[in-house]
Amino acid sequence: MRTRRWIFSAVMRLLLRCLRIGQRHRSWPTQKVRQLWLYGRLCLRSLLYNSFTDSDTALDALFEPVYWLVDHITRWFGVVFVALVIILTGSVVCIVYFCLLPLILRTYPLPWVFWHVIYGHWNLVMIVFHYYMAITTQPGCPPQQPKSDIAAVSICRKCIAPKPARTHHCSICNRCVLKMDHHCPWLNNCVGHFNHRYFFSFCLFMTMGCIYSSVSGWDMFWEAYAAIEQTYGQTPPPNFTFSQRAFHKSVVYAWVLCSSVALALGALMIWHAVLITRGETSIERHINRKEKKRLQKKGKVFRNPYSYGPLGNWKVFLGVERKRHWVTRVLLPSTHPPKGSGLSWDTSPCVSEQKTDLLAI
Ligand SMILES: [Zn+2]
Ligand SMILES: [Zn+2]
Protein backbone atom coordinates (compact mmCIF):
# COMPACT_ATOMS: atom_id res chain seq x y z
CA MET A 1 0.00 0.00 0.00
CA ARG A 2 2.81 2.40 0.98
CA THR A 3 4.75 1.47 -2.15
CA ARG A 4 1.73 2.16 -4.37
CA ARG A 5 1.22 5.61 -2.76
CA TRP A 6 4.92 6.47 -3.24
CA ILE A 7 4.76 5.49 -6.93
CA PHE A 8 1.59 7.57 -7.39
CA SER A 9 3.13 10.70 -5.82
CA ALA A 10 6.37 10.27 -7.84
CA VAL A 11 4.37 10.05 -11.09
CA MET A 12 2.37 13.14 -10.14
CA ARG A 13 5.55 15.14 -9.36
CA LEU A 14 7.03 14.08 -12.68
CA LEU A 15 3.88 15.15 -14.53
CA LEU A 16 3.86 18.53 -12.79
CA ARG A 17 7.54 19.10 -13.61
CA CYS A 18 6.92 18.21 -17.27
CA LEU A 19 3.99 20.60 -17.35
CA ARG A 20 6.09 23.46 -15.89
CA ILE A 21 8.95 22.79 -18.34
CA GLY A 22 6.43 22.75 -21.19
CA GLN A 23 4.92 26.04 -20.07
CA ARG A 24 8.36 27.64 -19.68
CA HIS A 25 9.41 26.58 -23.19
CA ARG A 26 6.10 27.66 -24.72
CA SER A 27 6.42 31.27 -23.35
CA TRP A 28 10.10 31.65 -24.24
CA PRO A 29 9.71 32.91 -27.84
CA THR A 30 6.95 35.40 -26.85
CA GLN A 31 9.05 36.84 -24.00
CA LYS A 32 12.10 37.14 -26.17
CA VAL A 33 10.16 38.95 -28.94
CA ARG A 34 8.56 41.23 -26.35
CA GLN A 35 11.94 42.08 -24.83
CA LEU A 36 13.37 42.84 -28.27
CA TRP A 37 10.37 45.04 -29.15
CA LEU A 38 10.68 47.03 -25.91
CA TYR A 39 14.42 47.45 -26.36
CA GLY A 40 14.02 48.60 -29.99
CA ARG A 41 11.30 51.06 -29.03
CA LEU A 42 13.49 52.49 -26.26
CA CYS A 43 16.43 52.88 -28.68
CA LEU A 44 14.24 54.62 -31.27
CA ARG A 45 12.74 56.99 -28.70
CA SER A 46 16.15 57.84 -27.24
CA LEU A 47 17.41 58.63 -30.75
CA LEU A 48 14.40 60.74 -31.80
CA TYR A 49 13.57 62.42 -28.47
CA ASN A 50 13.59 66.21 -28.50
CA SER A 51 12.12 68.41 -25.79
CA PHE A 52 11.13 71.00 -28.50
CA THR A 53 9.06 68.47 -30.44
CA ASP A 54 5.45 69.58 -30.83
CA SER A 55 2.71 69.52 -33.48
CA ASP A 56 4.33 72.45 -35.36
CA THR A 57 7.65 70.61 -35.59
CA ALA A 58 5.88 67.47 -36.81
CA LEU A 59 4.03 69.47 -39.50
CA ASP A 60 7.27 71.21 -40.49
CA ALA A 61 8.96 67.84 -40.88
CA LEU A 62 6.03 66.55 -42.94
CA PHE A 63 6.12 69.52 -45.31
CA GLU A 64 9.92 69.66 -45.47
CA PRO A 65 10.07 68.35 -49.10
CA VAL A 66 7.53 71.01 -50.21
CA TYR A 67 9.52 73.77 -48.47
CA TRP A 68 12.72 72.47 -50.01
CA LEU A 69 11.17 72.61 -53.50
CA VAL A 70 9.71 76.12 -53.03
CA ASP A 71 12.99 77.44 -51.56
CA HIS A 72 15.06 76.07 -54.45
CA ILE A 73 12.63 77.34 -57.10
CA THR A 74 12.57 80.82 -55.48
CA ARG A 75 16.40 80.84 -55.26
CA TRP A 76 16.67 79.92 -58.93
CA PHE A 77 13.90 82.32 -60.04
CA GLY A 78 15.62 85.15 -58.13
CA VAL A 79 18.27 85.39 -60.88
CA VAL A 80 15.53 85.43 -63.56
CA PHE A 81 13.56 88.13 -61.69
CA VAL A 82 16.64 90.38 -61.31
CA ALA A 83 17.35 89.99 -65.06
CA LEU A 84 13.68 90.81 -65.75
CA VAL A 85 13.83 94.04 -63.68
CA ILE A 86 17.01 95.14 -65.48
CA ILE A 87 15.65 94.28 -68.97
CA LEU A 88 12.22 95.91 -68.45
CA THR A 89 13.64 99.06 -66.82
CA GLY A 90 16.34 99.25 -69.51
CA SER A 91 13.74 98.93 -72.28
CA VAL A 92 11.68 101.85 -70.91
CA VAL A 93 14.84 103.99 -70.47
CA CYS A 94 15.84 103.23 -74.10
CA ILE A 95 12.37 104.20 -75.37
CA VAL A 96 12.56 107.48 -73.42
CA TYR A 97 16.06 108.31 -74.71
CA PHE A 98 15.56 107.30 -78.35
CA CYS A 99 11.87 108.13 -78.92
CA LEU A 100 10.53 110.60 -76.37
CA LEU A 101 13.47 112.83 -75.43
CA PRO A 102 14.15 113.98 -79.04
CA LEU A 103 10.44 114.80 -79.37
CA ILE A 104 10.44 116.71 -76.04
CA LEU A 105 13.55 118.70 -77.05
CA ARG A 106 11.97 119.58 -80.41
CA THR A 107 8.44 120.48 -79.41
CA TYR A 108 8.24 121.39 -75.67
CA PRO A 109 8.76 124.93 -74.26
CA LEU A 110 12.12 125.48 -72.52
CA PRO A 111 10.92 125.38 -68.86
CA TRP A 112 9.25 121.98 -69.50
CA VAL A 113 12.39 120.70 -71.22
CA PHE A 114 14.43 121.67 -68.11
CA TRP A 115 11.90 120.01 -65.80
CA HIS A 116 11.81 116.72 -67.74
CA VAL A 117 15.59 116.52 -68.19
CA ILE A 118 16.46 117.36 -64.55
CA TYR A 119 13.68 115.44 -62.79
CA GLY A 120 13.89 112.43 -65.14
CA HIS A 121 17.64 112.04 -64.67
CA TRP A 122 17.51 112.54 -60.89
CA ASN A 123 14.76 109.89 -60.63
CA LEU A 124 16.67 107.47 -62.86
CA VAL A 125 19.89 107.87 -60.84
CA MET A 126 17.98 107.22 -57.57
CA ILE A 127 16.33 104.08 -59.01
CA VAL A 128 19.58 102.62 -60.37
CA PHE A 129 21.59 103.49 -57.25
CA HIS A 130 19.10 102.02 -54.75
CA TYR A 131 18.46 98.88 -56.79
CA TYR A 132 22.18 98.22 -57.16
CA MET A 133 22.75 98.79 -53.42
CA ALA A 134 19.73 96.64 -52.45
CA ILE A 135 20.94 93.62 -54.44
CA THR A 136 24.64 93.93 -53.53
CA THR A 137 24.39 94.88 -49.82
CA GLN A 138 24.22 91.94 -47.43
CA PRO A 139 21.27 92.26 -45.01
CA GLY A 140 23.49 91.26 -42.06
CA CYS A 141 23.92 87.96 -40.23
CA PRO A 142 24.46 87.33 -36.52
CA PRO A 143 27.90 86.07 -35.42
CA GLN A 144 28.20 82.30 -35.01
CA GLN A 145 29.78 82.70 -31.56
CA PRO A 146 27.91 84.50 -28.71
CA LYS A 147 28.99 88.12 -28.20
CA SER A 148 28.54 90.39 -25.22
CA ASP A 149 26.60 93.08 -27.17
CA ILE A 150 23.73 90.74 -28.17
CA ALA A 151 20.78 91.97 -26.09
CA ALA A 152 18.61 88.87 -25.93
CA VAL A 153 19.31 85.58 -27.54
CA SER A 154 17.31 82.57 -28.55
CA ILE A 155 18.69 79.66 -30.53
CA CYS A 156 17.95 79.21 -34.22
CA ARG A 157 16.79 75.63 -34.72
CA LYS A 158 18.20 75.54 -38.27
CA CYS A 159 21.59 77.21 -37.72
CA ILE A 160 21.96 75.94 -34.11
CA ALA A 161 23.40 79.38 -33.35
CA PRO A 162 22.48 82.37 -31.12
CA LYS A 163 19.69 84.56 -32.51
CA PRO A 164 19.57 88.26 -31.49
CA ALA A 165 16.30 90.18 -31.10
CA ARG A 166 14.41 90.86 -34.40
CA THR A 167 16.52 88.22 -36.19
CA HIS A 168 14.79 85.50 -38.21
CA HIS A 169 15.93 82.53 -40.24
CA CYS A 170 15.55 82.73 -44.03
CA SER A 171 15.03 79.26 -45.45
CA ILE A 172 15.81 80.44 -49.01
CA CYS A 173 19.20 81.97 -48.09
CA ASN A 174 19.61 79.26 -45.40
CA ARG A 175 20.91 81.71 -42.80
CA CYS A 176 19.74 83.97 -40.00
CA VAL A 177 19.14 87.60 -41.03
CA LEU A 178 19.33 90.62 -38.69
CA LYS A 179 16.02 92.56 -38.47
CA MET A 180 14.69 90.41 -41.29
CA ASP A 181 11.78 91.91 -43.24
CA HIS A 182 11.32 89.35 -46.02
CA HIS A 183 13.15 87.52 -48.80
CA CYS A 184 12.66 89.50 -52.02
CA PRO A 185 12.88 87.46 -55.26
CA TRP A 186 13.06 90.73 -57.27
CA LEU A 187 16.35 91.49 -55.49
CA ASN A 188 17.40 87.83 -55.14
CA ASN A 189 18.39 88.89 -51.64
CA CYS A 190 16.99 89.08 -48.15
CA VAL A 191 15.76 92.44 -46.94
CA GLY A 192 17.23 93.02 -43.50
CA HIS A 193 18.99 95.49 -41.22
CA PHE A 194 21.67 96.75 -43.64
CA ASN A 195 19.67 96.94 -46.91
CA HIS A 196 16.11 97.69 -45.73
CA ARG A 197 16.50 101.41 -46.54
CA TYR A 198 17.84 100.65 -50.04
CA PHE A 199 14.89 98.30 -50.71
CA PHE A 200 12.28 100.84 -49.60
CA SER A 201 13.97 103.75 -51.43
CA PHE A 202 14.06 101.66 -54.61
CA CYS A 203 10.31 100.94 -54.29
CA LEU A 204 9.63 104.64 -53.62
CA PHE A 205 11.69 106.05 -56.49
CA MET A 206 10.56 103.37 -58.93
CA THR A 207 6.91 104.15 -58.11
CA MET A 208 7.60 107.89 -58.45
CA GLY A 209 9.32 107.30 -61.80
CA CYS A 210 6.44 105.17 -63.09
CA ILE A 211 3.80 107.70 -61.98
CA TYR A 212 5.84 110.52 -63.56
CA SER A 213 6.13 108.59 -66.85
CA SER A 214 2.44 107.62 -66.88
CA VAL A 215 1.20 111.16 -66.15
CA SER A 216 3.58 113.01 -68.47
CA GLY A 217 3.11 110.45 -71.25
CA TRP A 218 -0.70 110.38 -71.06
CA ASP A 219 -1.31 112.48 -74.24
CA MET A 220 1.42 110.70 -76.19
CA PHE A 221 -0.02 107.33 -75.20
CA TRP A 222 -3.51 108.20 -76.52
CA GLU A 223 -2.10 109.60 -79.77
CA ALA A 224 0.01 106.48 -80.31
CA TYR A 225 -2.91 104.22 -79.34
CA ALA A 226 -5.23 106.00 -81.83
CA ALA A 227 -2.59 105.66 -84.56
CA ILE A 228 -2.30 101.88 -83.91
CA GLU A 229 -6.09 101.56 -84.03
CA GLN A 230 -6.15 103.39 -87.36
CA THR A 231 -3.45 101.06 -88.73
CA TYR A 232 -5.52 97.96 -87.97
CA GLY A 233 -9.08 99.31 -88.27
CA GLN A 234 -9.02 101.67 -91.25
CA THR A 235 -9.24 100.61 -94.92
CA PRO A 236 -7.11 101.56 -96.68
CA PRO A 237 -4.64 101.73 -93.69
CA PRO A 238 -2.83 105.07 -93.14
CA ASN A 239 0.57 105.21 -94.72
CA PHE A 240 2.82 105.09 -91.62
CA THR A 241 6.52 104.35 -92.07
CA PHE A 242 8.24 101.53 -90.13
CA SER A 243 9.85 103.95 -87.66
CA GLN A 244 6.47 105.63 -87.01
CA ARG A 245 4.80 102.26 -86.34
CA ALA A 246 7.70 101.28 -84.03
CA PHE A 247 7.38 104.63 -82.23
CA HIS A 248 3.63 104.16 -81.62
CA LYS A 249 4.08 100.60 -80.31
CA SER A 250 7.02 101.61 -78.09
CA VAL A 251 5.06 104.46 -76.51
CA VAL A 252 2.05 102.21 -75.79
CA TYR A 253 4.31 99.44 -74.37
CA ALA A 254 6.21 101.88 -72.09
CA TRP A 255 3.01 103.53 -70.85
CA VAL A 256 1.21 100.24 -70.09
CA LEU A 257 4.29 98.86 -68.30
CA CYS A 258 4.88 102.03 -66.26
CA SER A 259 1.23 102.39 -65.18
CA SER A 260 0.99 98.68 -64.21
CA VAL A 261 4.21 98.86 -62.16
CA ALA A 262 3.05 102.13 -60.58
CA LEU A 263 -0.12 100.41 -59.32
CA ALA A 264 1.49 97.16 -58.12
CA LEU A 265 4.71 98.59 -56.67
CA GLY A 266 2.87 101.63 -55.34
CA ALA A 267 0.60 99.39 -53.24
CA LEU A 268 3.64 97.48 -51.92
CA MET A 269 5.48 100.72 -51.17
CA ILE A 270 2.50 102.17 -49.25
CA TRP A 271 2.24 98.95 -47.19
CA HIS A 272 5.94 99.15 -46.30
CA ALA A 273 5.60 102.86 -45.50
CA VAL A 274 2.82 101.98 -43.01
CA LEU A 275 5.04 99.32 -41.41
CA ILE A 276 7.99 101.74 -41.13
CA THR A 277 5.71 104.35 -39.54
CA ARG A 278 4.75 101.72 -36.94
CA GLY A 279 8.37 100.65 -36.42
CA GLU A 280 7.66 97.08 -37.53
CA THR A 281 9.04 94.67 -40.10
CA SER A 282 6.73 92.46 -42.23
CA ILE A 283 7.46 89.48 -39.96
CA GLU A 284 6.95 91.50 -36.78
CA ARG A 285 3.56 92.65 -38.09
CA HIS A 286 2.25 89.07 -37.69
CA ILE A 287 4.02 88.53 -34.35
CA ASN A 288 2.78 91.83 -32.94
CA ARG A 289 -0.81 91.13 -34.06
CA LYS A 290 -0.80 87.84 -32.14
CA GLU A 291 0.78 89.52 -29.12
CA LYS A 292 -1.85 92.28 -29.24
CA LYS A 293 -4.67 89.69 -29.13
CA ARG A 294 -2.95 87.78 -26.30
CA LEU A 295 -2.55 90.92 -24.17
CA GLN A 296 -6.11 92.08 -25.00
CA LYS A 297 -7.46 88.89 -23.40
CA LYS A 298 -5.54 89.80 -20.24
CA GLY A 299 -6.92 93.37 -20.37
CA LYS A 300 -3.51 94.86 -21.25
CA VAL A 301 -2.50 97.21 -24.09
CA PHE A 302 0.18 96.15 -26.56
CA ARG A 303 2.99 98.58 -27.38
CA ASN A 304 5.64 97.85 -29.99
CA PRO A 305 8.98 97.82 -28.11
CA TYR A 306 10.88 99.04 -31.20
CA SER A 307 8.65 102.00 -32.05
CA TYR A 308 9.92 105.53 -31.33
CA GLY A 309 6.82 107.33 -32.64
CA PRO A 310 5.97 107.86 -36.36
CA LEU A 311 8.53 110.61 -37.02
CA GLY A 312 11.16 108.94 -34.81
CA ASN A 313 10.72 105.67 -36.71
CA TRP A 314 11.27 107.40 -40.06
CA LYS A 315 14.35 109.22 -38.74
CA VAL A 316 15.84 105.97 -37.43
CA PHE A 317 14.96 104.11 -40.63
CA LEU A 318 16.39 106.76 -42.99
CA GLY A 319 19.37 107.57 -40.74
CA VAL A 320 18.36 111.24 -40.39
CA GLU A 321 20.17 112.82 -37.44
CA ARG A 322 20.32 116.45 -38.61
CA LYS A 323 18.01 118.59 -40.77
CA ARG A 324 20.39 118.61 -43.75
CA HIS A 325 20.30 114.78 -43.79
CA TRP A 326 16.79 114.97 -45.31
CA VAL A 327 18.53 116.29 -48.43
CA THR A 328 21.93 114.59 -48.30
CA ARG A 329 20.73 111.16 -47.10
CA VAL A 330 17.18 110.95 -48.48
CA LEU A 331 16.96 113.02 -51.66
CA LEU A 332 20.49 112.21 -52.84
CA PRO A 333 22.22 108.80 -53.16
CA SER A 334 23.85 107.96 -49.83
CA THR A 335 25.66 104.86 -48.56
CA HIS A 336 25.45 105.73 -44.85
CA PRO A 337 24.96 102.62 -42.66
CA PRO A 338 21.79 102.17 -40.55
CA LYS A 339 21.74 103.05 -36.86
CA GLY A 340 23.17 100.31 -34.63
CA SER A 341 24.71 96.94 -35.34
CA GLY A 342 21.38 95.07 -35.58
CA LEU A 343 22.50 92.84 -32.69
CA SER A 344 20.89 94.88 -29.91
CA TRP A 345 18.01 97.37 -29.89
CA ASP A 346 16.97 100.30 -27.74
CA THR A 347 13.40 99.84 -26.59
CA SER A 348 10.80 102.29 -25.28
CA PRO A 349 10.73 102.33 -21.44
CA CYS A 350 6.93 101.76 -21.33
CA VAL A 351 7.13 98.29 -22.85
CA SER A 352 9.63 96.52 -20.62
CA GLU A 353 6.95 94.11 -19.36
CA GLN A 354 6.24 92.53 -22.73
CA LYS A 355 9.80 92.85 -24.03
CA THR A 356 11.00 89.46 -22.85
CA ASP A 357 8.12 87.61 -24.53
CA LEU A 358 8.68 89.31 -27.88
CA LEU A 359 12.44 88.87 -27.89
CA ALA A 360 12.09 85.12 -27.54
CA ILE A 361 9.83 84.79 -30.62
ZN1 LIG B 1 19.13 80.47 -38.62
ZN1 LIG C 1 16.68 85.19 -47.82
Question: Domain map of the chain by residue range?
Answer: 62-359
pLDDT band at 356; cut points 50, 70, 90: very low
Per-residue pLDDT of 89-122, as tens digits, reads 999 999 999 989 998 999 999 999 999 999 999 9
Ligand nearest to the CA of 173: 2
Distance 45 CA to ligand 2 centre (A): 34
Residue 139 Cα, ligand 1 centroid: separation in angstroms? 14
Give residue-wise pLDDT tens across range 136-159.
999 999 987 665 556 666 888 888
Distance 83 CA to ligand 2 centre (A): 18
Q: What is the percent of the chain where pLDDT is above 90? A: 54
- How far CA 36 is from CA of 28, 32, 86, in Å, comes to 12, 6, 64
Q: 176 CA distance to ligand 2 centroid (A)?
A: 8
Q: What is the distance in A from the centroid of ligand 2 to the CA of 189?
A: 6
Comparing C-alpha atoms, which of 312, 343, 109, 92 is closest to residue 221?
A: 92
Q: Which of 99, 176, 184, 203 is catalytic?
A: 184
Please check the confidence at residue 361 and state whether its pLDDT lies above 50.
Answer: no
| 184 is an active site residue | yes
User: Which ligand is closest to the CA of 182, given by its number?
Assistant: 2
Cβ atoms of 196 and 317 within 8 Å: the answer is yes
Q: What's the whole-model pTM score?
A: 0.77
The pLDDT of residue 47: 72
How wide is the angle at C-alpha 299 spanned by C-alphas 295 and 300, nearest 5°? Answer: 55
Helices and strands in the chain, H and E counts:
12, 6
Residue with the bigger pLDDT between 360 and 32: it is: 32
The answer to whether the CB of 344 falls within 8 A of the CB of 164 is yes
Lowest mean pLDDT across 29-33, 204-208, 252-256, 300-304: 29-33
